[in-house]
Amino acid sequence: MMLKCTNLRYDKDRVNLDWVHVNTEGNLVNRESKTRYAGEGRQTNYWGTCSTAPLPRAGCPQYWEMKSRVSLDKPLTEQWHLMEVGVCREEQRDVRHSIATCNHSYCMKASFSIKYGWLGRYTWKEEKCVLCSSDTLPNTAGASYTLHYGVVYDDARKKIVFIDVKENKVISTLDNVDSSQPLWPMFGMCNPNDATVSMTLVVGSDINMTEEKKAMIVKALS
């Protein structure tokens, strides 16, 4: 199986500067930008940004990673997410603060659940939460950790796979993904009053593609 490590980039022209910005190191951080830029087209609802272009119809699996450094300023008590990574159609990119509850959107997010009372990982597909992970994250003031996730998009098999790179395991696999129209990679963050989040894209030749990781991806797509 051919696997393409896609070279994605944050779209700086669409960053929602009221909530996040891309810093001098090239990381997406959940802090309001002190610098305002001219131009139109910025997202006003979504807490984050998209990639500079939609995913190509490659006919083979495409893969990218993101690494988030998180520090909780206080325990999360509201139904907000720490971070999310996923894909959606163009018209869904700026409908809400998260793409989780949007049509034609697929994402994995680390967020607090009022229903379950924990901070964990949740996979969303087409407005519905389809998987709640039992792997909880520390939800105490001062807690800090790194989240390292991988995303596989296979337009031919109509599948999306979310991977925990640190644990080297598949978090979830979504089938019957609607790839009839181009999908845009999305990168979202939480309210800066609750936590400090810095997200780094790991793409192209920067990805450490081990044999174990490749085998895991092939198995998930089979």
Tally of domains in the chain: 1
131-135, 169-173, 175-179, 214-218: lowest mean pLDDT where?
131-135
Q: Distance between CA 10 and CA 6 in Å, rounded?
A: 13
Contact of 13 with 36, CB cutoff 8 Å = no
Q: Give the residue with greater pLDDT, 57 vs 212.
A: 212
- Per-residue pLDDT at 41: 76
pLDDT (0 to 100) of residue 187: 98
- Mean pLDDT over residues 72-78, rounded? 87
Tens of pLDDT, residue by residue over 93-127, are 999 999 999 999 999 999 988 888 888 999 999 99
Q: What is the pLDDT of residue 90?
A: 97
- What pLDDT score does 59 carry? 84
pLDDT above 90 covers a percentage of the chain that reads 77
Per-residue pLDDT tens digits for 144-197: 999 999 999 999 999 999 999 999 999 999 999 998 999 999 999 988 888 999
pTM score, whole prediction: 0.94
Give CA–CA dist 203/66, Å, rounded.
8
| Cα(182)–Cα(155) distance, integer angstroms | 10
Q: Confidence class of residue 212 from pLDDT cuts 50, 70 and 90?
A: very high
For 194, the domain range is: 4-221
Q: What CATH number has the domain bearing residue 163? A: 2.60.120.920
Distance CA 209, CA 147 (A): 18
Q: Rounded CA gap, 2 and 73, in Å?
A: 43
Tell me the one-letter amino acid at 13.
D
3-state SS assignment for residue 183: coil
